Structure 1
Amino acid sequence: MQKTNMSMDEEDFELVGEQLYNLIYPKHKESAGKLTGMLLELPLPVLSQMLQDEAMLTAAVEKALRALQVAHKSSEVTLRNEDDASASSDSLGEQLFELVDVYNTGHSQKITGMLLEQHKDAVLHLLSDPKLLEKHVNLALKTLKEQNVEEADVSDSSETDDTDKLGEKIFSLVVEMDPLHANDITGMLLEMDSPALQLLLSDHTMLRVAVQKAQAVLDT
């Protein structure tokens, strides 16, 4: 049963490939084969949508065509001097962004920036090899997700920072009431949860009562 599904997918791709080729060939006879091959790297649902949406297909073909043009000119770029090569970096970034954007990751700008950190020859290779580009896009996306997890971990630690700030505020009030035992009393009060500490800061009467209780414990 599984083999049948796989063969159906292959047949679907072949059928879609033929339909794409027939649509692309009239306008791009010389590069129709390469363009079709590049587009076939995209997921089947996206390809099916392209066949029904002429504007979407045209946009995708134009992006693939520009990628081919950049790859074709890569040898010329390597022959230029450093100034010319650096001047072309902006256009490389634009080309790369357009291809990365096809994958609809929601992070096209960041992923493009990450990929542009590579050597220019490596970037040109990405532009001319859709499969390699897809691999790097997925790796970059994975890295971004891992960074988001790390940022979430950091945000969790912000609760500790909040407690420290509350501790400083409470200490500054306690030290006026009992300078001698301010550290010990503040430490005892900080065993309370954050909302309770906020309440003590907003109601000095409650704070004074809490301090007196702490003093009683210390005196025993």
Structure 2
Amino acid sequence: MEDEEDLETLGEQLYSLIYPKHKEDAGKLTGMLLELPGPVLSQMLQDESLLMAAVEKALRALQLPQEPCKVTCKDEDDVSVSSDSLGEQLFELVDVYNTGHSQKITGMLLEQHKDAVLNLLSDPKVLEEQVTLALKTLKEQNVEETDVSDSSEADDTDKLGEKLFLLVEEIDPLHANDITGMLLEMEPAALQQLLTDHTVLENAVQKAQGALET
């Protein structure tokens, strides 16, 4: 019975907030929002921007053509209202930890079952543990990404080679392949200079030509 009374109280509070702006649809909108989880509703009562965002979504659902799927369309929209609201709440709580990865961590946590996400909203200790764990995972992924980027140096060299070949070909079409191969043995910084400074490139090509002739 307590739950029913709480819901009724929440309904009255929601209605009083929605009614001034949406007199005609206040009842319907309140009914739709009351299908959302309790913690979400409580948060909406404290955060007007969150409430207005949910009301806007519910309004759009009311305006959609209802004939083909009177029930499912409404349910799907409720789910999206719920998911978005959860995401916004979760982001605000995660952002408190100043990890620098609030968006990513929120996304990771939202992949869990809705009940688990609701638990995070209501239990700060569990949330802190999950944020720490997600941050650790992100750092490990970052290490892996760094490793991958090392292995992608070969791709970078290929791209440099293609650009360099085109430039060398203009100077010495006959030996462009051999000369490009020789130049690619230089340091990356020196290679970049060859691409940006034509005089330096010409000098390097002349040296390579001389080496080929000997």
TM-score, structure 1 length as denominator? 0.51
Q: Does the alignment pair 1:214 with 2:202?
A: no
Q: Which residue of the other structure, out of 36, 39, 42, is the alignment partner of 1:70?
A: 39
Would the alpha carbon gap of residues 157 and 87 (structure 1) be closer, same or farther in structure 2, given more than 3 Å must change? same
Equivalent residue number for residue 196 of structure 1: 190
SS at match of 1:88: helix
- Backbone CA RMSD of aligned residues: 3.3
CA distance in 1, matches of 2:41, 2:194: 71
- What is the count of residue pairs matched by the alignment? 144
Shifted more, 154-163 versus 137-146: the winner is 154-163
Asked whether the equivalents of residues 182 and 208 of structure 2 are also in contact (C-alpha less than 8 Å), the reply is no
Asked whether the equivalents of residues 183 and 204 of structure 2 are also in contact (C-alpha less than 8 Å), the reply is no
In percent, how many aligned pairs have the same letter?
73
SS at match of 1:135: helix
Q: Does the alignment pair 1:89 with 2:83?
A: yes
Letter matched to residue 115 of structure 2: D
Residue ranges of structure 2 left out of the alignment (5+ in a row) = 1-37, 43-73
Residue ranges of structure 1 left out of the alignment (5+ in a row) = 1-68, 74-79
Q: Does the alignment pair 1:109 with 2:103?
A: yes
Would the alpha carbon gap of residues 189 and 214 (structure 1) be closer, same or farther in structure 2, given more than 3 Å must change? farther
The alpha-carbon deviation at position 141 of structure 1 amounts to 0.8
Q: Does the alignment pair 1:137 with 2:122?
A: no
Q: Does the alignment pair 1:165 with 2:159?
A: yes
Equivalent residue number for residue 93 of structure 2: 99
CA deviations 1:11-57 (Å, max 9, x no partner) are xxxxxxxxxxxxxxxxxxxxxxxxxxxxxxxxxxxxxxxxxxxxxxx
CA distance in 2, matches of 1:125, 1:82: 22
CA deviations 1:113-156 (Å, max 9, x no partner) are 22112221221122233332222111111122223333434554
The alpha-carbon deviation at position 159 of structure 1 amounts to 5.0
Large movers: runs of 4+ above 6 Å? none
TM-score, structure 2 length as denominator? 0.53
